[in-house]
Amino acid sequence: MTTPSDCLILLLEEYNSDESSFGNKIYVLHDYESSLYLIRGLKDDGDEPFSFTAYDNNHDSVVDFLELFISRDDLCRITLYNFNDLPLTSNEITYDYLEEVCQEHNEVTAYRPDLFSKKTITKIVKVLKNVYNYYTSC
């Protein structure tokens, strides 16, 4: 993120079938200026978050990557957040930062946990890339 703009953030949370415990948790956002997807996550059995980037010319790679972490046998809750004040550099947008700022008041929409759908995730990842509000601060 090199300029201030509204930005959608996708959160995928994996749950066991009884919705009692969360598994992997992954945030995805698109940096319009750098033409990159940013992926920040935490495995259910890990202490260290992971961080990846992907070129935005192939959203299928991002969805394939997400599919590696979200089991088709477990439930997946999908939430979209909106921000207009993210840090100006992508390196500052860490998993811990997103955990702190993604709160209910920034929520645009949320879907109840359901089985992972590659088709649904593909549509949302495309939206992340193609829906933005570029503006300069006053």
In a domain, 138, yes or no: no
Element (H, E) at 17: none
In a domain, 29, yes or no: yes
In a domain, 22, yes or no: yes
Range 86-107 average pLDDT: 87
| DSSP, res 92 | G
In a domain, 52, yes or no: yes
Residue 34 to residue 9: CA distance in whole angstroms: 16
- What is residue 4's predicted lDDT score, i.e. its pLDDT? 45
Q: How confident is the model at residue 131 (pLDDT cuts 50, 70, 90)?
A: confident
Range 67-79 average pLDDT: 81
Say which amino acid occupies 81. Answer: Y
Element (H, E) at 119: helix 118-130
| Total tally of structural domains belonging to the chain | 1
Q: Pull the structure tokens for residue 20.
A: 């009692």
Task: Provide the residue range defining the domain that includes 86.
Answer: 5-133
Q: State the pTM of this model.
A: 0.85
Range 84-107 average pLDDT: 86
How many residues does this entry show for the chain?
Answer: 138
In a domain, 26, yes or no: yes
Residue whose tokens read 């930062």 = 97
